Homo-oligomer: A and B are copies of this chain.
């Protein structure tokens, strides 16, 4: 239950990124959860759909959870909410747009009725158990994002999730510097803040730079414009809509998540598109003049099943790429996706489209603070202690280095990883135990049942394929009832298999006839040795043996 007067701080989930998907604050018999997001699998996580935080710790203490506060509406902060709510029933607090996006998600899961979804506003001051929570506005690439002042019995904590210090954001609402200064005046015990861009010098460009870049694209595009972005980048949708109005193009959102999110963002007033600009995809495809059409869809990461992915391979059912189309990838590849993004770009070029990406035009800016912003935040808040979050170890270490540069003393900076528990009590900070706090694989209907052992087997299967041997022997004579049956997959081409299989059969029969029948191991060894000798590869060899 934790010692008296002790605040526990625990980052959970998020692949290597610490506290990216979930943070837990625990005081006595009370837990406050911040965010509940998902991550997409890395390249060697074979067959995995997505990843959620390991919240075993919360399942064991579910009766202590007083509330779940969501900082903003991106997938890596809301995507796991339905998984969490299956185990933990506590009120969910979110700002207007974030709440709308969560509703869309819960509705799809048929869970909307069962969830206590409460409204939060910047400048609110709400009590959740012993936690006095003061959300304050921050800029990010989605409107209605908040950071949190959390007054606890152990002191005032400032929790800054994804943010940037954009002086000219799309929605005209800059980060609330006054609130940060106010916290500073009251004395901040601990700051936790976003480290994503801690290796990037300078100041992240304002979202405003995208406007002129889009203008240029809209002026020069000889035909349709197809813009790709994330479905939750509502600010980007607004910028595209503005360009459509200015350049007199009709705009259609394409794909379920894009359409649903645009709908809720419009309903709630976060996305302003004139009625006459917005059309459905069917209407857009009817328009004769290609220079009047703009489509907005997902698929910036080269995902083969996304609309851009399907367009690049000519497998989109609804419409195809035409020569003269201009594709705008308004995004930056997530680390690990560079290869598939690049391949997609090449394929789109091959189909006659022109492709504009952030490597050649400023049609995307990061939603995260760079070094100078991170330093300004530290100086505005002037915390006693600092824990860098939202980054891999390399970024956290660099954020810690920046904090030392602006005067936070080394012993007051704590770099932790997911599942490491930090305790704050009597003005002291300590790293204590480590709990399961990493990630859990979601694969089909399995949540957490797939582990790294299974992943290693998949990797082995993938490396050189399989070689199956079925044997049937007479239990009295010990003789084979028929020739060994052999199946291979992912090992060699069919022609090569035709060459290898007869000799492999012979080797098997030699072992069996040599009295090695009971020694399946010998059969496997003989086959492995033969195959390795011939191919310098090691497929997984399986023997099934029936005695009759």
Residue among B340, B495, B536 making CB contact with A444, cutoff 8 Å: B536
Within 8 A of B (CB), among A449-470: 449-451, 453-455, 457-466, 468, 470
Residue among B199, B468, B490 making CB contact with A460, cutoff 8 Å: B490
The stretch of A25-33, A226-234, A246-254, A540-548 that contacts the partner chain: A540-548
Determine how close the nearest CB of chain B comes to the CB of A429; give it in whole angstroms. 21
Q: How far is it, in angstroms, between the C-alpha of A47 and the C-alpha of B540 when the chains are bound? A: 13
Measured between beta carbons, the chain B residues less than 8 angstroms from A461 are 458, 461-462, 465-466, 489-490
Chain B residue at minimum C-beta to C-beta distance from A488: B457
User: B493 near A450 (CB under 8 angstroms)?
Assistant: yes
Chain B residue at minimum C-beta to C-beta distance from A446: B535
Taking A446-B492, A451-B493 as contacts, is the C-beta distance between A339 and B342 under 8 angstroms?
no
Measured between beta carbons, the chain B residues less than 8 angstroms from A472 are 472, 546, 548
Measured between beta carbons, the chain B residues less than 8 angstroms from A445 are 534-537
User: A46 near B542 (CB under 8 angstroms)?
Assistant: no
Chain B residue at minimum C-beta to C-beta distance from A448: B493
Determine how close the nearest CB of chain B comes to the CB of A457; give it in whole angstroms. 4
> Counting CB contacts under 8 A, is A280 at the interface?
no
Taking A199-B360, A398-B360 as contacts, is the C-beta distance between A464 and B339 under 8 angstroms?
no
Number of identical protomers = 2
Chain B residue at minimum C-beta to C-beta distance from A492: B449
User: B493 near A392 (CB under 8 angstroms)?
Assistant: no
Taking A335-B342, A349-B397, A462-B47 as contacts, is the C-beta distance between A546 and B470 under 8 angstroms?
yes
Q: How far is it, in angstroms, between the C-alpha of A219 and the C-alpha of B264 when the chains are bound? A: 57
> Counting CB contacts under 8 A, is A108 at the interface?
no
Within 8 A of B (CB), among A465-506: 465-466, 468, 470, 472, 481-482, 485, 487, 489-496
What 5 additional pairs, Cβ within 8 angstroms, besides A349-B393, A461-B462, A485-B546?
A: A43-B340, A350-B393, A458-B462, A481-B546, A481-B548
> Counting CB contacts under 8 A, is A328 at the interface?
no
User: B454 near A492 (CB under 8 angstroms)?
Assistant: yes
Q: How far is it, in angstroms, between the C-alpha of A451 and the C-alpha of B490 when the chains are bound? A: 10
Within 8 A of B (CB), among A518-548: 534-537, 540, 542, 544, 546, 548
Chain B residue at minimum C-beta to C-beta distance from A46: B462
Q: How far is it, in angstroms, between the C-alpha of A492 and the C-alpha of B443 when the chains are bound? A: 10
User: A446 near B537 (CB under 8 angstroms)?
Assistant: yes
Residue among B393, B449, B458 making CB contact with A493, cutoff 8 Å: B449
User: B394 near A349 (CB under 8 angstroms)?
Assistant: yes
**Size of interface on A: residues with Cβ below 8 Å to B:** 70
User: B394 near A355 (CB under 8 angstroms)?
Assistant: yes
Interface centre among A43, A462, A492, A536 (most CB of B within 10 A): A462
> Counting CB contacts under 8 A, is A182 at the interface?
no
Measured between beta carbons, the chain B residues less than 8 angstroms from A490 are 46, 454-455, 457-458, 460-461
Measured between beta carbons, the chain B residues less than 8 angstroms from A496 are 446, 449
User: B345 near A394 (CB under 8 angstroms)?
Assistant: yes
User: A393 near B463 (CB under 8 angstroms)?
Assistant: no
Taking A393-B350, A535-B444 as contacts, is the C-beta distance between A540 and B489 under 8 angstroms?
yes
> Counting CB contacts under 8 A, is A384 at the interface?
no
Determine how close the nearest CB of chain B comes to the CB of A388; give it in whole angstroms. 13
Taking A446-B496, A493-B451, A546-B482 as contacts, is the C-beta distance between A342 and B394 under 8 angstroms?
yes
Chain B residue at minimum C-beta to C-beta distance from A346: B393
Q: How far is it, in angstroms, between the C-alpha of A481 and the C-alpha of B546 when the chains are bound? A: 9
A–B pairs, 29, beta carbons within 8 Å: A43-B340, A199-B360, A335-B342, A336-B338, A345-B393, A345-B394, A346-B393, A349-B394, A360-B398, A443-B537, A445-B534, A445-B536, A445-B537, A446-B535, A450-B492, A450-B493, A454-B465, A454-B491, A454-B492, A454-B493, A458-B490, A461-B465, A461-B466, A466-B466, A468-B468, A470-B470, A470-B544, A481-B546, A481-B548
Measured between beta carbons, the chain B residues less than 8 angstroms from A446 are 492, 496, 535-537
> Counting CB contacts under 8 A, is A174 at the interface?
no
Measured between beta carbons, the chain B residues less than 8 angstroms from A322 are none
Within 8 A of B (CB), among A359-408: 359-360, 392-394, 397-398
> Counting CB contacts under 8 A, is A155 at the interface?
no
Q: How far is it, in angstroms, between the C-alpha of A492 and the C-alpha of B457 when the chains are bound? A: 10
Chain B residue at minimum C-beta to C-beta distance from A48: B463
> Counting CB contacts under 8 A, is A267 at the interface?
no
User: A463 near B349 (CB under 8 angstroms)?
Assistant: no
Taking A46-B463, A461-B465 as contacts, is the C-beta distance between A444 and B537 under 8 angstroms?
yes
Measured between beta carbons, the chain B residues less than 8 angstroms from A16 are 342-343, 346
> Counting CB contacts under 8 A, is A42 at the interface?
yes
Contact with B along A24-61 (1 / 0, CB 8 A): 00000000000000000011001100000000000000
